[in-house]
Structure 1
Amino acid sequence: MRAITKVQVLLSRRSGSTAIDNNAWHGRNVPAGMLLALATIAGARADDIETTLVAETRLEIPAPNDRRISRLVPAATLQQGQEIFYTVRIRNSGNGAARDVEVVQRIPENTTYVADSAAGPGAEVSLSADGGATFGKEGQLTVTEQPTPVHTPLTRPATPQDYTHVRWRLRNPLAPGAVALARFRAVFR
């Protein structure tokens, strides 16, 4: 069984620019591929939007009367097949409302997206199966595979294993000091 320990559960970054390269963080002691979200906005300065990624796992605790209580705890150790609950906190630290906020989060490496798990109250959610180049609704994306030897490429519906990025577009302006939460789940492999 594969396990990873000392998972960094909290990453934070002011967007500073609309061109943060998530791939620049790859291989830099960011366990399980947890990468920063890319945020683009209108109506406020780009460096006023802060994104924070939190990774948690579910812990079941015995309770009286043969019951169990579940709670989310920081992901300290991951085991193969374990589900990870990711929360992207989107905070407007500026003095003006941020309109048209869009946040893109790469699905961490060594994980597989859990179908229908991406959510964000007041947000339009879409996914990518091509490294973040294009986005669409879950279940409506396709993947083109090049068979070997080279024949006609095959196009098939994308599966959760194919998804590479999640995008949230906030429908409403984000007030100064306000925080929006976006979530998704993935399974460690």
Structure 2
Amino acid sequence: MRNIFVEATMVAGILATGMSLPDIAHASPLAAAVQTATPAAQSDVKIESSIRVERTEVSENGASATVLLDPAAVKVIPGDKLLFINRYSNSGQDVVTGFVINNPVHSAVTFVEVLEDWALVSVDGGQNFGKLAELTVTDAEQASRPAVASDVTHIRWALPMPIAPGASGELRFRGIVK
């Protein structure tokens, strides 16, 4: 497994509310671990990360619509809905198989949902992954309960199909600013 950093400098602006400068510096590239069955080709898979703020806007005629805004263009506050987008592309000459990306959920964000129904989540810091409905957490009194979305610490996408040379795609999840 090779660690790479997902470019997400927008995180600093989004998470600036209530965070100190050192916290922002640690949030600013999000770390993601990528592994493939063909290690030589993994360096050919490039990942670009972006974040959008989801807001409902009402037009002059009274119609409401959800819009995606650049976080640098708006004031982001606790309770704002975020869409995290990880774009991947294979810039190499070889097919990449077994592509897996593990994406931590930043501590200033509460996980809401992953948009790819085949993705797995972790509620224990990335040690174990599964479908949310199948996971449990243990509280301070050592009692076990079903895991809920706010327990999610990591997301794992294991692409079911190989990535052909020149192919690209997106992996997305939603969260809310704490």
| Structure 1 residue 181 corresponds to structure 2 residue 178 | no
The equivalent of 1:104 in structure 2 is: 102
Q: Which runs of 5+ in 2 are unaligned?
A: 6-21
Identity %: 27
Q: How far did residue 188 of structure 1 move?
A: 0.4
Alpha-carbon distance between aligned partners in 1 of 2:79 and 2:171, rounded to the nearest angstrom: 23
TM-score by length of 2: 0.79
Alpha-carbon distance between aligned partners in 1 of 2:56 and 2:144, rounded to the nearest angstrom: 42
Q: 2:3 aligned to 20, 44, 53, which one?
A: 20
Which structure 1 residue ranges, 4+ long, deviate > 4 Å from structure 2?
Answer: none
TM-score by length of 1: 0.75
The equivalent of 1:6 in structure 2 is: none
Residue 157 of structure 2 aligns with an amino acid whose one-letter code is W
Q: 1:38 aligned to 19, 24, 33, which one?
A: 33
Equivalent residue runs for 1:38-117 within 5 Å: 38-43=33-38, 45-76=41-72, 77-114=75-112, 117=113
Residue 46 of structure 1 aligns with an amino acid whose one-letter code is Q
Please give the secondary structure, in 2, of the residue aligned with 1:161.
helix
| Structure 1 residue 141 corresponds to structure 2 residue 135 | yes
Relative distance call for 1:52 and 1:21 in structure 2 (3 A) is: closer
Give the aligned CA root-mean-square deviation in angstroms: 2.3
Q: Which runs of 5+ in 1 are unaligned?
A: 1-17, 148-152
The number of aligned residues is 159
Residue 173 of structure 1 aligns with an amino acid whose one-letter code is P
